[in-house]
Amino acid sequence: MKSMRGEAQCVSPEALRECLREGDLVVALAGNPNVGKSTVFNQLTGMRQHTGNWPGKTVLSAWGRCAFGGKNYVLVDTPGAYSLSARSAEEEAARDFICFGEADAVVVVCDATCLERNLHLILQIMEVTDRVAVCVNLLDEAGKKHIRVDLEALERELGVPVVGSAARSGKGIDAILQAADRAMRGEGHPRLPRYSAALESAIAPLEEELTRLGLALRPRWLACRLLEGDREWLARIEAFLGDSVEKLPGIAAILEKAPRSISNPREEMVQCLYRRAEEIVHACVFEQGDASRRQARWDKILTSRKTGIPIMLLTLAVVFYITILGANYPSEVLSGMFARLEEGFAGMLASLNAPNWVIGLLAEGMLRVLGWVVSVMLPPMAIFFPLFTLLEDLGYLPRVAFNLDRCFQRCRACGKQCLTMCLGFGCNAAGVVGCRIIDSRRERLIAILTNSLVPCNGRFPMMISLIGVFFVGGGALFGGAVLSAAALTGVILLGIAMTFLASRLLSATLLKGVPSSFTLELPPFRAPRVGHVIVRSVLDRTLFVLGRAVAIAAPAGLIIWTLANASIEGKTLLSYATDFLQPVGRLMGLDGVILMAFILGLPANEIVLPLAVMAYTAGGGLVEMENMGALKNVLVANGWTWLTALNAVLFSLMHWPCSTTLITIYKETRRGYWTLVAFLLPTMLGFLCCLFTATLARIAGLA
């Protein structure tokens, strides 16, 4: 029986060593992405860590504790990696811990449904350390696909302890620590792949020399890296030796004598590992049925040039439809709740004999703006983020990235930007944080600077309202959800097109460079864990983003109320500002009021339309319309036409990011310059787009 308790967040290997207690045994969990490694970690530690390679996930190593068999284990969940060659930040973090984290054992978690792909990493880790155990996870899914893995044969082939598990249901979890304990006791004798005679003759003297130098890592691993010409590992050896750098000429002499017939050692080693993986799978894996062929057929449909993009757009429209339709009632309930709270709060302040301006500032200003942000922002996020996470859990999002990778490559950006762009539909701040998964700094900056060109759910209410009032008829709240979702999808497509345009523009000017390649896995389709997905999306995404928005919206409410109520010579400060912006607004096909509303809506895009209505009705606080008809009457009475509504939607799609996103951009880039570019880029695109439509309408006599 084991007791479980989680004790830590994500830390570096150096910080982890400071947290170790006497008698702790460190077990590193390694493996490819999407093999259930974090599920194994959570089952063993009782934590809820979600580590991976998709947006919002960490590239550091999470750790936790558990006790089993009278021993205390510290388990380290390293990021998913395909190789120890470290072509990405995730692989570098995993490699560094496996090589230098001083783990007592490494448990490599692999996917029973596609074992061959996982064996490359297993064979590499076996070259690093002989204290290795293998956990063949997802045996339940392999059974459904009629795939059988002979674990005993696999253990004989690898020469290390091998166990099977179905971590999601908790089966085989105890055996994982038992296998790790066997590895620590030296029961494993890894059967390393043998290279060609010429390569082995070059490796052998390097092994001897490195053994003589007394380096911590296995000499064979270091010998292979040096023979490949890896300068990083040569620098690491120099760091290991300290003042003994004079011993390195011996290594240089050996490398100089290496056989000239070895033209590309790295390529030969990789090919040898893959051949060995094929041999192992042939001896240990037996497949019946056509599960793999069925998935291949689905992938052919979902990633085809003819059907992949249409299916992606249809999926996007369905997600928007569910979000629009499902968010209406909760928004009304929350709005009513905050209205009653505001009334009670104002009454309490009045009973305390507070001045009217204090009541207005706190109740009509701060609390009312706060209520608008929560009631309008929370329901769509609470629906959109779980739907997004369900698609991720199902395995569909990597296929979306595959479909759009070619477009981003043409823009000289990274295909992973597609995933951060998808996350931006929920919240641009979350999308900016998700850009951490992009390895290249240049491409990461492109993704950060263009993320706000896809609208977050804070901009959806205004877009949906204006589309419903001026273009669909009746609005999404009264039976037009399907048409509104279709029209909104069209607006989204324009945002995606502008993302491509802006990415290409940045690639040709401020951020010149060549697009990098990356490994994109198409994981098997899996039935999503609905309960786990809902909890994870609400806790990790919805509440995190909402908390930031609330922290900014509360003080913004004080400023908005002050501008709407403070006056000079009988004219409010808000009126002075809207009059000043009127010429620019007219040039763009808008007016000064809506431009000022966008400026005051910097803390949260949800309040832009209510601010405009407040200015039109000369009210001292935010106004909520009883229905879409009342909203249209107010807007038309103040000179709005279809062109005004169209440009308002376009400028809502393309304007400066909200304050939460700007703060996040600054934290991610640590440069005020890039934060300014992120502010100006979408704003200029929005200005030019509105100017173009307004000018075109005037020339055609439609305005």
**Do the annotations mark residue 555 as ligand-binding?**
no
**Do the annotations mark residue 579 as ligand-binding?**
no
Distance CA 395, CA 36 (A): 13
- Pull the structure tokens for residue 161: 């302890």
**Do the annotations mark residue 42 as ligand-binding?**
yes
**Do the annotations mark residue 24 as ligand-binding?**
no
**Do the annotations mark residue 303 as ligand-binding?**
no
Distance CA 419, CA 46 (A): 29
- Pull the structure tokens for residue 182: 């066997």
**Do the annotations mark residue 33 as ligand-binding?**
yes
Nearest to 110 by CA among 245, 261, 284, 296: 284
**Do the annotations mark residue 230 as ligand-binding?**
no
Task: Answer left, alpha or beta for residue 404, where phi above 0 means left and psi between -120 and 50 means alpha.
Answer: alpha
Give the SS3 label for residue 335.
Answer: helix
- Pull the structure tokens for residue 108: 């490599």
**Do the annotations mark residue 137 as ligand-binding?**
yes
Q: Which residues pair with 397 in a beta bridge?
A: none
Distance CA 364, CA 12 (A): 47
Distance CA 423, CA 353 (A): 48
**Do the annotations mark residue 119 as ligand-binding?**
no
Nearest to 385 by CA among 326, 305, 344: 326
**Do the annotations mark residue 145 as ligand-binding?**
no
**Do the annotations mark residue 46 as ligand-binding?**
yes
Nearest to 506 by CA among 418, 413, 421: 413
**Do the annotations mark residue 37 as ligand-binding?**
yes
Distance CA 182, CA 524 (A): 31
- Yes or no: say if 582 and 604 are a contact pair by the CB < 8 Å rule: no
**Do the annotations mark residue 589 as ligand-binding?**
no
**Do the annotations mark residue 140 as ligand-binding?**
yes
Give the SS3 label for residue 564.
Answer: helix
Nearest to 47 by CA among 56, 37, 55, 38: 38
**Do the annotations mark residue 138 as ligand-binding?**
yes
**Do the annotations mark residue 380 as ligand-binding?**
no
**C-alpha of 329 from chain center:** 29
CA dist list (Å): 615 to 132, 565, 572, 585: 68, 11, 10, 15
**Do the annotations mark residue 424 as ligand-binding?**
no
- Yes or no: say if 423 and 429 are a contact pair by the CB < 8 Å rule: no
Query: Given the structure tokens 């033209």, which residue do they identify?
Result: 263
Give the SS3 label for residue 304.
Answer: coil
Residue positions forming the annotated binding site for Mg(2+) = 42, 45-46
As annotated, the binding site includes 31-38, 42, 45-46, 77-80, 137-140
Q: Which amino acids are annotated as binding site for GTP, given as ranges?
A: 31-38, 77-80, 137-140
